[in-house]
Chains A and B, each alone.
Chain A
């Protein structure tokens, strides 16, 4: 019953967003039902639809988890975008620098690079907040731009692949992460969904166990739900803020595993399709629970996959409708009171009161 109530509100938000989108499509003189059929239906085909949907879902699970961990500590990490760039570049850097190494050492080192670099980039706003009290939202926005500029600098001036494209040289083949097509019959290996998807699912389990089954996770959540009570109970809020932002950044950094080690085998400048920001939507729609994150990430991945089809097959509707839908879903989830009529400050974190 509680589960159903948890489900109800996000469902209403999604439906409401689709209605708004449908009205927009009508206004520009196209057929919303046909557009939505293209948008949702194309994701269900085998193997391309499902394969690509899982591939698109992978970064969103990582960023959704990143936002979730910070949110549970009462922090809003809108810096996942920067953290994932830094993680991706670091993993590519290790993959390029140690290209000759055997996969047994290289893959773990590349993983470590993504996790550590993303974590370090996430720790910066955590430390700034803990030490100077400056707001993590502003600092993460600023750090996003700095991260993009830094990665672009290193790509352009130090690791550039000759040619017109802003990308690095290729990583060593020992750093490649296997595509799922290698193991699943009928799924061709050209579809880039790779082991990072399974790692993302594993991270959901780990985040769940950490937050709800360990003392550290309890302390982190306690800080988020009632900082003064937590401090009174002997928990160092400053420490929790830094821990939460570091874990959050590490999770975002792991997007690099999917992107660099499993897909392009190099760092590609500006690769992220707003994964960091969509992660906020994924976490909110998933009610800041790991299972919810998986479901929400899949939904957004379906939209992303479908967007390409809409672009190709519909007369007026372009893939940009996907962003409009995603943003509208966040807007409705955020303005929960619009539906429920009741509101508490952190209503997003608590049980649905619908």
Chain B
């Protein structure tokens, strides 16, 4: 019994972490370039809906996954145009995108599928339960390599830390930021696609239910670094797995159930604690959130 539970918990942790890893790594590319991305939630929703709708229409989940990725990137493009080209407040824009993306998939499903916000069921053979997991875990070393070992990564980080210096060195600040935000949208889109055509078999209204924010929390908890972010995602995925797998199985010494709400709070509490500097220090990229105004 105990062993079975451990195995179940392990796989459950892998599954719950996958969308978090994808979105958090996406967020990393955006934030390391200096653009706050609280729109991860909206990007995931776009990816989840598009992947399910396209898979349903075409019957091929690979095409669906690609479409979900593209939809995420498209939402990223909206964020990028508003924040980088028009220097809108990044947090406000992110909030706007999240609000739009609560409504948009439901609006489109209502029109296309005459449903109250969900897509039709996709047959089991047309789902992708494994590919996004492989992509997520493979992306961690790739992201690390890109960020720390390539000229692109160096430029991206320099733009997030000191855009004036990067600009003076001939790096196009806005181009790097666009790249970061578009990448973040694409990755969050895959993360969302996993929810609808990997873990589940359809899109339902607001199906991310805050995972974009947990991914953001993991990114901060992981101090904006790929490997630490992976560990944070696994930790937060584990808490979610515990709260679903262990419900009614694990009891407090008094014999009462562990309230699921307290397990849900763990990622958020940990993020507040680490951000306040109680567990080491979590320093955001220096120029995070400041629109870059080119000197004339």
> Which residue numbers of A lie inside 8 Å of B, CB to CB?
24, 28-30, 76, 78, 128, 131-132, 134-135, 137-139, 141-143, 145-146, 149-150, 152-153, 156-157, 274, 277-278, 280-281, 284, 316-318, 320-324, 326-328, 330-331, 334-338, 343, 345, 348
Chain B 94-141 interface residues, beta-carbon cutoff 8 Å to A: 95-104, 106-108, 110-112, 114, 116-117
- The answer to whether A331 and B97 have CB atoms under 8 Å apart is yes
B217 within 8 A of A: yes
B38 within 8 A of A: yes
Chain A residues with Cβ below 8 Å from B268 are 142-143, 145-146
> Which residue numbers of B lie inside 8 Å of A, CB to CB?
36, 38, 78, 81-82, 86-89, 91-93, 95-104, 106-108, 110-112, 114, 116-117, 210, 213, 216-217, 220, 259, 261-262, 264-265, 268-269, 271-272, 275-277, 284, 291, 293
Closest beta carbon of chain B to A189's beta carbon, Å: 31
- The answer to whether A29 and B92 have CB atoms under 8 Å apart is no
- The answer to whether A337 and B261 have CB atoms under 8 Å apart is no
- The answer to whether A139 and B275 have CB atoms under 8 Å apart is yes
Closest beta carbon of chain B to A61's beta carbon, Å: 18
Q: How far is the CA of A327 from the CA of B86 in the complex (A)?
A: 17
Chain B residues with Cβ below 8 Å from A335 are 81-82, 86-88, 93
- The answer to whether A76 and B261 have CB atoms under 8 Å apart is no
- The answer to whether A274 and B220 have CB atoms under 8 Å apart is no
From the candidates B95, B97, B112, B259, name the one contacting A153 in the complex (CB within 8 A). B259
Chain A residues with Cβ below 8 Å from B293 are 345
Dominant secondary structure of chain B at its interface with chain A: helix
- The answer to whether B217 and A331 have CB atoms under 8 Å apart is no
- The answer to whether B275 and A157 have CB atoms under 8 Å apart is no
Contacts A139-B275, A281-B99 known; A348 to B213 CB distance under 8 Å?
no
Chain A residues with Cβ below 8 Å from B88 are 331, 334-338
Known: A76-B91, A135-B284, A327-B96. 16 other contacts (CB 8 A): A78-B91, A78-B95, A134-B272, A135-B275, A138-B220, A141-B216, A143-B272, A145-B268, A274-B99, A320-B107, A324-B100, A327-B99, A330-B95, A331-B93, A334-B96, A338-B88
- The answer to whether B103 and A334 have CB atoms under 8 Å apart is no
Chain B residues with Cβ below 8 Å from A146 are 265, 268-269
Q: Which 7 residue pairs are nearest across A and B when measured between Cβ atoms?
A: A323-B103, A327-B100, A327-B99, A318-B110, A330-B96, A28-B111, A153-B261
Contacts A76-B91, A280-B92, A320-B103 known; A134 to B277 CB distance under 8 Å?
yes
Q: How far is the CA of A145 from the CA of B266 in the complex (A)?
A: 10
Closest beta carbon of chain A to B100's beta carbon, Å: 3
Q: How far is the CA of A137 from the CA of B117 in the complex (A)?
A: 30
- The answer to whether B112 and A28 have CB atoms under 8 Å apart is yes
Dominant secondary structure of chain A at its interface with chain B: helix
Q: How far is the CA of A213 from the CA of B122 in the complex (A)?
A: 61
Chain B residues with Cβ below 8 Å from A132 are 275-277
> Tally of A-B residue pairs with Cβ under 8 A?
163
Q: How far is the CA of A39 from the CA of B126 in the complex (A)?
A: 39
Contacts A132-B276, A331-B97, A334-B82 known; A142 to B261 CB distance under 8 Å?
no
Contacts A284-B92, A331-B78 known; A141 to B213 CB distance under 8 Å?
yes
Chain A residues with Cβ below 8 Å from B276 are 128, 131-132, 134
- The answer to whether B272 and A320 have CB atoms under 8 Å apart is no
**Minimum CB distance partner of A331 in chain B:** B96
**Minimum CB distance partner of A28 in chain B:** B111
Q: How far is the CA of A331 from the CA of B80 in the complex (A)?
A: 12
**Minimum CB distance partner of B213 in chain A:** A141
Q: What are 6 of the A-B contact pairs (CB < 8 Å)?
A: A29-B111, A76-B89, A138-B271, A320-B106, A321-B107, A328-B100
Contacts A135-B275, A139-B272 known; A317 to B86 CB distance under 8 Å?
no
Closest beta carbon of chain B to A28's beta carbon, Å: 4
- The answer to whether A330 and B99 have CB atoms under 8 Å apart is yes
Closest beta carbon of chain B to A82's beta carbon, Å: 10
Chain A residues with Cβ below 8 Å from B96 are 281, 327-328, 330-331, 334
From the candidates A78, A149, A316, A338, name the one contacting B111 in the complex (CB within 8 A). A316
Most buried by A among B98, B107, B276: B107
- The answer to whether A149 and B261 have CB atoms under 8 Å apart is yes
Chain A residues with Cβ below 8 Å from B92 are 76, 280, 284, 330, 334, 348
- The answer to whether B108 and A28 have CB atoms under 8 Å apart is yes
Contacts A142-B271, A146-B269, A324-B104 known; A334 to B259 CB distance under 8 Å?
no
**Minimum CB distance partner of B259 in chain A:** A153
- The answer to whether B284 and A327 have CB atoms under 8 Å apart is no
Closest beta carbon of chain B to A311's beta carbon, Å: 9
Closest beta carbon of chain B to A277's beta carbon, Å: 6
- The answer to whether B210 and A321 have CB atoms under 8 Å apart is no
Chain B residues with Cβ below 8 Å from A348 are 89, 92
Chain A residues with Cβ below 8 Å from B78 are 331
- The answer to whether B107 and A149 have CB atoms under 8 Å apart is no
- The answer to whether B259 and A157 have CB atoms under 8 Å apart is yes
- The answer to whether B277 and A323 have CB atoms under 8 Å apart is no
Most buried by B among A28, A320, A337: A320
Closest beta carbon of chain B to A35's beta carbon, Å: 11
Chain B residues with Cβ below 8 Å from A145 are 210, 213, 264-265, 268
Closest beta carbon of chain B to A284's beta carbon, Å: 7
Closest beta carbon of chain A to B37's beta carbon, Å: 12
Chain A residues with Cβ below 8 Å from B97 are 327, 331
Closest beta carbon of chain B to A93's beta carbon, Å: 16
Q: How far is the CA of A152 from the CA of B98 in the complex (A)?
A: 23
